[in-house]
Structure 1
Amino acid sequence: MEGMAEHTQLIDAIDIRTTIRAYDPDKIEDDQARQLSMTLDAVNMLADLNIQLVRNQPKVFAEANASGHYTNAANYLAIVGPRNDDEARERGGFYAERVVLAATLYGLGTGWVVGSWDKAEAARHCRVTNSQEIYAGVVIGHPQNHLTYTAKKFEELTEIQRTHRPTKSFEELTRTMSDEARAAAPQWFRDGMAAVAKAPSARNTQPILFSWDPETGTVVASIDPELDGPYALNDLGIAKLHFQLGAGTGEWGWGNGAMFIKK
């Protein structure tokens, strides 16, 4: 991808990542699969999860491909972790999105999967023990007309990202803050929120709210109770990762309502 050598950080991936629904039929090459596997090994060690890459299983997406929701979807990441573990679900969103951003830098297209796959069929092709479950999935592959796509300059890809779907405003994503607090918010918080606005979420609901406390300098992320649902914890993890990358150094606690401490 032209210009990608200068844009190898995950924050740059945030600026060009879009949800891809149409894929070329070309298989993910072994070299790219090895790159992804190395990324997965490192991420799984950090996350204490078992996120897996599964290739060449179009049956998993047969209905979605037939309906036109996807085109040529055949590969996926299965986010696997312990059953009934809310923190693990959140970690799944956080760390699997790191893999998504890495895949973006490799020139691959991705899209978080909510209901548009056969989850039982997906489970047949990966390792899920009796004490584990699949939290969610990510379809992955070469974007349609990918040779044209990868020839685009970084600036062209950022413009595609900026205009590909509507997003909530800074005010909407921080609606629990007062106008005075928003006006006083430091630039690193605004940078974090700019990255949050570009985060994927289930059905594009963007259900995570952020607030900065001017007295303590801490940030809290919480699930909007009006938009809570089965994938909200996954979305919480994704949004926290985007914020952390946008804000720079700092660290989150796990859980709904946990704090981010800027370092």
Structure 2
Amino acid sequence: MAEHNQLIDAVNIRSAIRSYDDVPMDENQARQLSMSIDAVNMLAELNMQLVCDQPTVFAQAAASGHFVNASNYLALVGPAGDDEAKERAGFYAERVILTATLWGLGSCWVGGSWDRQEAARHCRVTASQELYLGVILGPPAGHAGHMAKSYEELASFQQSHRTSRSFEDFTADMSTEDRQAAPEWFKKGVESAMKAPSALNLQPVRFSYRPADGTVAAQLDPDVEDSFALNDLGIAKLHFQIAAGTGTWAWGDGGLFIRK
């Protein structure tokens, strides 16, 4: 997959992996991931951490068959009670996860299918911080075969296993005419956001194009009850930005994307 090494490629092949090989994460990959996380933490003012070899965190989910051999996770840790930090955590953690995807690692965002207290025991969480949620990481089951698959095979697998709300759902605040008239980069951005993971698989984010000034607003769907909505907002914004091209988001519910 050497010719497919961009983040948009990772967007097109990433899917939630629930079964992993019963082997430790490669030490070199773990070291590279930790370095990437450290760099992101400085940029995002977070305290995200890679935690390895802690299967007890997922023991209950493993007993029910929800996960197999899950033992490593990216812990999203940041300031307690800070809505913007939660959004940044989703945005920047997904940036790390997409890089890990290009390295052949599997991942799955977890909001409820883990032991949060046990997970926090293995993290550095100060009195002013909290553990938002986590992302399982590791070599997917049948890792050798997974690595041998072509980009096209992996993309096809995602399409056949990934459920998503419709394009109309993601642009519910726009009329049919406005959707058709929106620029192609907006449509690509929304299609990329449709492939974004969501901690509870609720996908609570809507996008709307504003022709008056060419900006895009990202808003949380008021009809979707999602305790991890702010994290999901950050994840969806990143996916949109990757496909839409050069531009920047303002943080917050209703924040605008300005394309350069």
- Smaller-chain TM-score bracket: over 0.9
Secondary structure at the residue paired with 1:226? Answer: coil
Q: Output aligned runs, 1:1-263, within 5 Å.
A: 3=1, 5-263=2-260
- Any idea what the Cα deviations from partners look like across 1:16-55, whole Å, max 9, x if unmatched? 0000001111110110111101211121111110110000
Whole-angstrom CA distance in 1 between matches of 2:169 and 2:222: 14
TM-superposed CA distance for 1:205, in Å, is 1.2
- Equivalent pairs counted in the alignment come to 260
TM-superposed CA distance for 1:203, in Å, is 2.3
Secondary structure at the residue paired with 1:204? Answer: coil
Secondary structure at the residue paired with 1:261? Answer: strand
- Any idea what the Cα deviations from partners look like across 1:106-155, whole Å, max 9, x if unmatched? 11000000111111111111100000000110011110011101100011
Q: Which amino acid aligns with 2:134?
A: G
Q: Percent identity?
A: 61
Question: Does the Cα contact within 8 Å between 2:70 and 2:136 map onto a contact in 1?
Answer: yes
TM-superposed CA distance for 1:229, in Å, is 2.4
Whole-angstrom CA distance in 2 between matches of 1:82 and 1:157: 36
RMSD: 0.8
Secondary structure at the residue paired with 1:228? Answer: coil
TM-score normalised over the length of structure 2: 0.98
TM-score normalised over the length of structure 1: 0.97
**Runs of 5+ consecutive residues of structure 2 not aligned to the other structure:** none
Whole-angstrom CA distance in 2 between matches of 1:40 and 1:203: 23
TM-superposed CA distance for 1:165, in Å, is 2.3
Moved more, 91-100 or 34-43: 34-43
Question: Does the Cα contact within 8 Å between 1:181 and 1:213 map onto a contact in 2?
Answer: no
Q: Which amino acid aligns with 1:166?
A: T
Q: Which amino acid aligns with 1:117?
A: W
Whole-angstrom CA distance in 2 between matches of 1:69 and 1:214: 44
Whole-angstrom CA distance in 2 between matches of 1:97 and 1:10: 10
- Any idea what the Cα deviations from partners look like across 1:52-74, whole Å, max 9, x if unmatched? 00000001111001110000010
Secondary structure at the residue paired with 2:76? Answer: strand
Regions of 4+ moved over 2 Å: none
Whole-angstrom CA distance in 2 between matches of 1:8 and 1:40: 19
Whole-angstrom CA distance in 1 between matches of 2:227 and 2:201: 14
TM-superposed CA distance for 1:228, in Å, is 3.4
Whole-angstrom CA distance in 1 between matches of 2:108 and 2:180: 34
